[in-house]
Structure 1
Amino acid sequence: MAKSAEVGEMLREQEKKFKIIAAISAPTVLKAHGVGKGKNVTSYPAMEKEMSECGDYKYKNDDVVVDEYLITSRGPGTSFKFAFTVLKQLTDDMKASEIAKRTLCL
């Protein structure tokens, strides 16, 4: 995905319109396409150095990080937190909580 011109174009278009961009495990795809510069992000721990060394991102060690339209997460172990964070952004806290309870995630 990091080498795909189509993915880069889609991500930049989403960013231009301030529409949600969600990346789990490897936000290095965002970096490859210059998306989310200046934003708070997290990633799989092995990618921390790559994401923070360029100075384009503010790296956080949180499981899920939301910065305006950009949602990033660390990996498979944080996937439920990530999914419900995305759900909250798309709906609201009440709906996300209702779904979380029905799926036994709360």
Structure 2
Amino acid sequence: MSRRLNDKTIAVLATTGFEQVELTEPVDALRNEGATVHIVSPEEGQIKAWDQDQWGKHIKVDVAVSDANADDYHALLIPGGVMNPDFLRQNDDAVSFVRDFFEQHKPVASICHGPWMLVEADVVRGRKLTSYPSIKTDLKNAGANWVDEEVVVDEGLVTSRNPGDLKAFIAKTIEEFGEGKHEGQTASESGGRSASPGSI
């Protein structure tokens, strides 16, 4: 079987309150394609999932977001859950980490409430994307072209609405992560900075 992500190292940005299946299913799929996946978080040790209407499993944290560098990764995944991005967007290191992927033209995938982090990082202006409907207005106010579709791909940015979209979301995430950098994947409509020297 072809493993399309054998040479890729992927960051997954999450904290306690992430929606369980929106992390576990994409991570399993990425690893099955050969990717090395690191869970990056402001918390140390473990983070706890939210599983529909109750607390779920614990996930081991690999890298503290304060120590994480986008230069070391090929792509970024941001799962949803209401609490997860709400906590993350209050963390300056997490917000900067997200923005750096756009400035380096690297693919980013985010589902459900995850795109809240894209608003905080100020990277959605002029971009086509989707999300959980309750944050539609926030995305529009930040300049995004919001659409109601199961998966939206815009120059390396992959977004979906909810766990029901995971099959399509995962397929497009693997495809975009495999393709690598996209020049249209930038931190603003006018374009972001070039990648740092020596970054992957």
**TM-score over 0.5 for the pair:** yes
Task: Find the counterpart in structure 2 of residue 45 from structure 1.
Answer: 133
| Amino acid in the other structure paired with 2:112 | S
For the residue of structure 1 that corresponds to 2:89, the secondary structure is coil
Task: Find the counterpart in structure 2 of residue 74 from structure 1.
Answer: 161
Q: Is the 8 A contact 1:36 1:70 kept in 2?
A: no
Correspondence 1:25 to 2:132: no
Name which of 154, 173, 176 aligns with 1:89. Answer: 176
Q: Is the 8 A contact 2:119 2:142 kept in 1?
A: no
Larger Rg: 2
The structure whose residues are more often helix, as a share, is 1
Structure 1 stretches of 5 or more lacking a match? 93-106
Q: How many residues align?
A: 91
Structure 2 stretches of 5 or more lacking a match? 1-87, 180-200
In 2 relative to 1, CA 65–16 (structure 1 residues): closer, same or farther, beyond 3 Å? Answer: same
For the residue of structure 2 that corresponds to 1:11, the secondary structure is helix
| Amino acid in the other structure paired with 1:47 | I
Matched residues in 2 for 1:55 and 1:32: separation? Answer: 9
| Amino acid in the other structure paired with 1:80 | K
- CA shift for structure 1 position 45: 1.4
- CA shift for structure 1 position 13: 0.9
Q: Is the 8 A contact 1:42 1:60 kept in 2?
A: yes
Task: Find the counterpart in structure 1 of residue 149 from structure 2.
Answer: 62
| Amino acid in the other structure paired with 1:17 | Q
Task: Find the counterpart in structure 2 of residue 100 from structure 1.
Answer: none
The structure whose residues are more often strand, as a share, is 2
- CA shift for structure 1 position 77: 0.7
- CA shift for structure 1 position 57: 0.4
Matched residues in 1 for 2:109 and 2:143: separation? Answer: 18
Q: Is the 8 A contact 2:151 2:161 kept in 1?
A: yes
- CA shift for structure 1 position 55: 5.1
Q: Is the 8 A contact 2:124 2:142 kept in 1?
A: no
**Between the two proteins, what is the percent identity of the paired residues?**
26
Q: Is the 8 A contact 1:15 1:36 kept in 2?
A: no
- CA shift for structure 1 position 90: 2.5
Taking only aligned residues, the RMSD between alpha carbons, in angstroms, comes to: 1.4
Matched residues in 2 for 1:49 and 1:28: separation? Answer: 11
